[in-house]
Amino acid sequence: MKQLIVIANMEGASGIFEHNRDALLHEELFPDKLLWREYGRNCITSDVLAVCFATNDFGIDEILLYDMHFAGCTESNIIVEKLPANVNFFDTPSRCFLWSRIRGQAIINPFGIITVGQHARNGEDNAYFSHTIHTPPTWKIHYKQFEYC
């Protein structure tokens, strides 16, 4: 079985920048902000759908999705009804960060992991929001394969 893990963060979604950053503010925490439901959710859903369609064309059997933006809020940022049938969300209460529970739901050797919407703006108004990657800018990333014990 080919299982793919997708980790999505709305703060790097296509179409959300400084001028419309209210689209990031989850309605459960900011009930007076309307852009999250009207615009922001469509942005991250579109990005996730692009990954889902491409990986399904490749032959992925199952996509396990973790929607991490504003973890702790019960409603997903991603519009669940738009997702393909082979997408399953990790079972975590209120989408909380429970990494051992998340890892326990994936097969031992998933086909891969894709991050969607990881933000790394570093001061540019029309780039991804910075907080995953901080200043100074990352100049080089080294890859090291890890073995599980």
CA–CA dist 67, 102 (Å, integer): 12
Q: How would you classify residue 52: left for phi > 0, otherwise alpha for psi between -120 and 50, otherwise beta?
A: alpha
Residue 145 pLDDT > 50: no
For the segment 6-65, what is each residue's pLDDT rounded down to a tens digit? Answer: 989 888 888 888 789 899 999 999 999 999 999 999 999 999 999 999 999 999 999 999
Answer whether 88's CB lies under 8 Å from 63's CB: yes
Tokens found for residue 11? 């703060």
Cis, peptide link before residue 136, omega less than 30° from 0 = yes
Answer whether 56's CB lies under 8 Å from 50's CB: no
Tokens found for residue 127? 């780039």
Residue 120 confidence (pLDDT): 53
Spans of all domains in the chain:
3-116
Residue 25 confidence (pLDDT): 95
Amino acid at 28: E
